[in-house]
Structure 1
Amino acid sequence: MRILHCLLTREFAGTERHVAELANQQALTHDVTVLLERHTADLRTGGDIAHHFSPSVRIVRAYRAGYLPTLTALVWNETFDIIHTHLGKASIRAGVLKTLGLMGETPVIGTLHNAYRARTYGKHDGLICIARWQQASLPAGCRNQSAVIANWTIPSVLCHPERTKLREGFRQEHRLPPEAFVICAVGRMVEEKRFDCLLQAWRQAALPPDTYLVLIGDGPERARLENVCAEYRDRIIFAGYRSDVPDVFCAFDGFVLPSRREPFGLVLLEAMAAGLPVCATAAGGVLDILENVSDCLVKPDCIDALAAGLVRLRQQPGRTWDLSFHVLEEQALKTEQFYRRFC
């Protein structure tokens, strides 16, 4: 199949990782092109999706004229079996071309990385939901043209000596005692991720003094959050943005996800793949991942519940999770089977 993925963003977060990993897997057996923005490096963090594609994936960047003219030229001059869009900006532009009849007979599929919006996805032929809550929220007429295909995680390939070296190096860099119990949280520092709630819950939980909290990520809320926890800065570390998140989990002993809204929770899967005990808010796609592990779930936006969850997390050892439902090869195969419903 000739597949065109469309993504118009300038950062590297969960959606961008999803697109890169899916395109790389599909390119093993298909002809895959990805249309990106002209510049894709995040100005704040330096994260760039372009660095995560295999050589077998063809990358096309938007012309100076803009993303829509570039997409128009691609579909006018080339033939694709599937056009697969991700997030709102690219999906709206594909919908415009669909409305104008410029897509011909080529099916347009969208992956919902957030909530469904008719203006964004109303012209698409099919929709892939990464969590059940999304499919349940679709208009009745769209549900028959949708499928739930969950995200996946790719376990770290570091060998044991490399993991030990990374763990020791990270702890030395951030002055974390070798025997400390270190809890981490990862994500963009924006309001909906509720790092502020986490810091209040940390204060309330009054964990033993050998317990530390590491926040990985960056964003507009960072400066305010650093001020909020000034009194605990000896035990709360702001480690900044890192491009090696799946690997660096070996430096930690527990993981917490405090988000108010989490469309799926890819970073949660990555922490579980690393064998960490977890505490996560019962929001969105997290319920799909931890539906049978209720003791790991806490009520969103509730400081008391999150504080109690941190206390439980502190008492838990490493854990082996069954992630057999979240394997890239299987999810890529399901995606191909969904494509063929429309070809």
Structure 2
Amino acid sequence: MGKTVKILHCLSTREFAGTERHVAELTAIQARSHEVTLLLESRTADFRTGGDIARHIDPAVRIVRADWRGYLGCLARLMQAGSFDIVHTHLGQASIRAGALKKAGIGGRVPVIGTLHNVYRGRSYGAHDGLICIARWQQDSLPKRWVNRNALISNWTVPCTTAAQEGPALRRKFRQHHGIPQDAFVICAMGRLVPEKRFDLLVQAWKQAGLAAEAYLVLMGDGPERACLERGHTVRDRIIFAGYREDAPAVFAAFDGFVLPSGREPFGLVLLEAMAAGLPVCATAAGGALDILEHDPASLVTPNNVEALSAGLKRLRQQPRRVWDLSSYDLAEQARKTEQFYQRFL
């Protein structure tokens, strides 16, 4: 953008998942050239997993936490001070509040931009000046009035130096810890254990595929469905619940294949990270996976279909490691596109 821009990012969550990683990486690269502030809740740690975005924020990014005024009150104070050139919101809670303040005239003419990390809702983004879509399905679903005020800027991957340096040792350690033979074929799925991720369907498809005699399935993550998922199968099913880990994507070095069973995934950052680690993949043909695997449709299966997912797992078992072309998912390039989008409103 040429000159230093003062950017306020707004995120109101208490976990560390794909959106939080997106915000951490975007603010870090922007802080190399601009003044970046991130408004967070007073508490940001996930009570179940302990994941916390605050531990992943670059030191160059100024963190402001909501205080006794609450998130809305603190955001109003920041916008009213008039010290920012642009406000960039993420997810519904922060976006609703920023939109309400803009309607009330707080912040003057400072542009408010939102990144859609999920579905578009007028209540959340109706007052925004511009919207960034991370997948084509989002762009296609926008009302017509957004035609000239949106941009398609996907998520990205960041090279994992830890995986390159420590991959073999991490692989050995992970497998030893979980009692998995070093030469076994291991398929991994990763995400929050919640209904929309369809881990229940994956467990059913795994059993139907009959792969337990020659492979292992590792489910990484935690959530309210974990207890239910852990019931109903035996040791012979070779399904391992590894829990939540903060060392993704480095931990992908421990596996030989990756599966994304979600009914709908807004983007599928974890899919991109698995591909960056060189894993063959199987993903449901919905949401962002359609963009990511546009040129490899054989890796896609029908969503919410146990037979299709079972067949996909069987194909995945036969696939070797591979090098994917992920040149269009470069952080520096996506950050540049984001700054170009800002420029349209400054």
Give the structure-2-normalised TM-score. 0.97
From 147, 155, 163, the counterpart of 1:151: 155
**Corresponding residue of 1:291:** 294
1:25 aligned partner, one-letter code: I
Q: Which 4+ stretches in 1 moved above 3 angstroms? A: none
**Corresponding residue of 2:33:** 29
Which ranges in structure 2 are unaligned for 5 or more consecutive residues?
none
* Residues 1:14 and 2:18 are matched in the alignment: yes
Superposed displacement of residue 158, structure 1: 2.3
CA distance in 2, matches of 1:196, 1:331: 34
1:11-38, Cα deviation, whole Å (9 max, x unpaired): 0000000000000010011100000000
1:4 counterpart SS class: strand
**Corresponding residue of 2:129:** 125
Superposed displacement of residue 282, structure 1: 0.4
**Corresponding residue of 2:208:** 204
* Residues 1:47 and 2:51 are matched in the alignment: yes
1:100 aligned partner, one-letter code: A
1:34 aligned partner, one-letter code: L
* Residues 1:308 and 2:311 are matched in the alignment: yes
CA distance in 2, matches of 1:160, 1:261: 31
| Percentage of pairs with the same residue | 67
CA distance in 2, matches of 1:115, 1:55: 31
The verdict on how the C-alpha distance between 1:333 and 1:166 changes in structure 2, with shifts beyond 3 A counting, is same
1:4-59, Cα deviation, whole Å (9 max, x unpaired): 00000000000000000000010011100000000000000000000001110000
1:9 aligned partner, one-letter code: T
From 257, 261, 269, the counterpart of 1:258: 261
2:61 aligned partner, one-letter code: V
From 70, 73, 78, the counterpart of 2:74: 70
2:136 aligned partner, one-letter code: R
1:245 counterpart SS class: coil
1:184-230, Cα deviation, whole Å (9 max, x unpaired): 000000000000000010011011613000000000000000003x2
RMSD of Structure 2 on Structure 1 (CA): 1.0
**Corresponding residue of 2:111:** 107
1:238-281, Cα deviation, whole Å (9 max, x unpaired): 00000011000000000000000100000000000000000000
CA distance in 1, matches of 2:235, 2:204: 11
Q: How many residues align?
A: 342
Superposed displacement of residue 181, structure 1: 0.1
* Residues 1:276 and 2:282 are matched in the alignment: no
1:83-131, Cα deviation, whole Å (9 max, x unpaired): 0000000000001101100020100000000000001000000000000
Superposed displacement of residue 155, structure 1: 2.0
- 8 Å CA contact 1:155–1:270 kept in 2: the answer is no
**Corresponding residue of 1:188:** 192
- 8 Å CA contact 2:79–2:107 kept in 1: the answer is yes
* Residues 1:243 and 2:242 are matched in the alignment: no
- 8 Å CA contact 2:6–2:36 kept in 1: the answer is yes
Which ranges in structure 1 are unaligned for 5 or more consecutive residues?
none
1:287-339, Cα deviation, whole Å (9 max, x unpaired): 00001101000000000000000000000000100000001000000000000
* Residues 1:328 and 2:331 are matched in the alignment: yes
Superposed displacement of residue 234, structure 1: 5.6
- 8 Å CA contact 1:153–1:326 kept in 2: the answer is yes
CA distance in 2, matches of 1:161, 1:70: 42
The verdict on how the C-alpha distance between 1:104 and 1:78 changes in structure 2, with shifts beyond 3 A counting, is closer
CA distance in 2, matches of 1:149, 1:307: 33
